[in-house]
Structure 1
Amino acid sequence: MYSTIRVRPASRASHASGRRSARSLAALALAGAAAAAVLTGCSTQDAICGGGEYPVLHVGSSGSACQPDGEEPPKGYARYPEDKVPEHVDDKWDKYWSDHTLDSDGKIIKLKDGQ
Structure 2
Amino acid sequence: MNTSRTAGLATRVRPRGLRFVAAAAASAAAVVVLTGCSGFEYREDVCASGEYPVLSVGGTGSACVSDGKQPPAGFARYPQGKVPQEVGDEWDTYWDAHTLDEDGNVIEAPAEG
Q: What interval of TM-score do these two structures reach, taking the shorter chain for normalisation?
A: 0.5 to 0.7
Segments of structure 1 that go 5 or more residues without pairing to the other structure are 1-7
Aligned to 1:20: 21
> For residues 98 and 73 of structure 1, what CA distance do their matches in structure 2 show?
19
In the aligned structure 1, how far is the partner of 2:110 from the partner of 2:76? 20
Partner secondary structure for residue 85 of structure 2: coil
Q: CA deviation at 1:69?
A: 1.8
Q: Which runs of 5+ in 2 are unaligned?
A: 1-7
**Offset of 1:15 from its aligned partner?**
1.8
Deviation of 1:77 after TM superposition, in Å, equals 1.7
Query: Shift in Å at residue 50 of structure 1?
Result: 3.0
Quote the Cα distance in structure 1 between the aligned partners of 2:111 and 2:26: 54
Count of residues paired in the alignment: 103
Superposition RMSD in Å: 2.8
Q: Displacement of 1:57 after TM fit?
A: 0.7
Deviation at 1:14, TM superposition (A): 1.4
Task: Select which of 85, 103, 109 maps to 1:87.
Answer: 85
Offset at 1:18?
1.1
Identity of aligned residues (%): 40
Q: Secondary structure at the match of 2:58?
A: coil
